[in-house]
Amino acid sequence: MTCRLGATPVMELMIAAGKTVPKLQLEFGLLVERVYTGSFMTSLDMKGFSISIMKVDQTLLQHLDASTKAPHWPVGSAGNRPPAKTPVPLPSSRSMKSDELLSRPLQLTEQGHILEVAIEAAANAIINMRDILNDWDSTIGDGDCGSAMYKGATAILDDMKKYYPLNNAAETVNEIGSSVRRAMGGTSGVLYTIFCKAAYAQLKANSDSTVTAKQWAEALEAAIAAVSKYGGASTGYRTLLDALIPALAVLKERLTSGEDSCTSFVLSSEAAVAGAGSAKDMQAQAGRSSYVSAAILATVPDPGAMAAAAWYRAAALAVKDKFHPSFNSSINKSKS
């Protein structure tokens, strides 16, 4: 099933579906029985699409093919398809990682320990905020921000125990994106997947095994730019970027001035919290809350911005508490 968001043209959706089906058949050896393409769950003014795959048997197919009065349920398209009993072998690529890369290392490096602590703290911060995020979102949205973020956070914690190659920062960020994509629904899931994939691409461009503070800042900047590009938001739009953009500005400023990495991280997290708090007084310009009156918006903070500030702040404090000053010695080896 290929589902478009509100601002994606149908032509682009059809192109995506047309490329997806052969890939599933030839590269993954899946037999595609039905293809449904249309607007099933949209987000106003949001560009993008989602692809859902479901394992079916004859009973499920009969239900899918049954007559219905649902006005927008599309007719299943079988079409001609090549045999898919045997997967077609492919050359190795980034999307097909080795077993070694897709497993937790037996022994963590210092960088691996830092990543583990930061990820665990960030995820737990979101888990603890589920109810309050839902409460805020019920006023200005559909009330599920906390639940969606909770699913993503719990998936991250579960996957980290088994799959995250924590000694490899770039691949770990990529796997976080995969966890989010699989478990977190709604607009937040899409945006955080984009966020992680953009950060991964930036980190992957660096050849050094140890990621420096400057490189982490560059990855954050790339992730923010990607979310802004595809989500259509920026500072003042009352979104997660109202927390992350101020954090990035302070992080870059402090690192450039010669401040140590840990202090820069913590100070930038303070900017994230302040930015998220200030979003309460802004008129939303993106997402569902952009259709809510200013009077109602002023009664609650933006849940997306508050969540972003929470996980960023939690990660910074956890790293500071456990590793400072060793955090600085490991991550400040190169600032060029």
Q: Indicate the domain borders of the chain.
A: 2-65, 110-327
Give the Cα separation of 331 and 261 in Å (integer). Answer: 7
Percent share of the chain, pLDDT over 90: 45
- Across the strands, what pairs with 96? 93
Which positions ≥6 away from 318 have C-beta within 8 Å?
Answer: 117, 118, 120, 121, 122
Determine phi and psi for 309, rounding to 5 degrees. -65, -35
Structure tokens at 87: 């997967």
Q: How many CB atoms lie within 10 A of CB 195?
A: 26
Average pLDDT over residues 145-155: 96
Residue of 253, 265, 224, 226 whose CA lies nearest to 241: 224
Residue with the two structure tokens 């938001």: 233
Rounded average pLDDT over 15-43: 79
| pLDDT of amino acid 75 | 59
Three-state DSSP state, 242 = helix
Using CA atoms of 162, 168, 170, 175 in order, give the dihedral in degrees to the nearest 10.
-10
Does residue 311 have a pLDDT over 80? yes
In this predicted model, which residue has the larger pLDDT, 135 or 331? 135
What type of residue is 330?
Answer: S
Question: What is residue 219's predicted lDDT score, i.e. its pLDDT?
Answer: 97
Of 10-14, 202-206, 332-336, the range with the highest mean pLDDT is: 202-206
At the top level of CATH, the class of 110-327 is mainly alpha
Average pLDDT over residues 74-94: 42
For residue 4, the 8-state DSSP code is E
Between the two ends of the chain, the Cα-to-Cα distance in Å is 46
φ and ψ at residue 106, rounded to 5 degrees: -65, -35
| pLDDT band with cut points at 50, 70 and 90 for residue 16 | confident
18-22, 77-81, 328-332: segment of lowest average pLDDT? 77-81
CA distance 119 to 222: 19
pLDDT band at 102 (very low <50, low <70, confident <90, very high): low
**CA dihedral angle for residue 328, residue 332, residue 333, residue 336, rounded to 10 degrees:** 180
> In the prediction, which pLDDT does 331 show?
52
Q: CA-to-CA distance for 208 and 287, rounded, in angstroms? A: 38
Give the rounded percent of residues in the chain with a pLDDT score beyond 70. Answer: 77
The pTM of the full predicted model, rounded to 2 decimals, is 0.70
- Residues 103-137 have pLDDT tens digits of 888 899 999 999 999 999 999 999 999 999 999 98
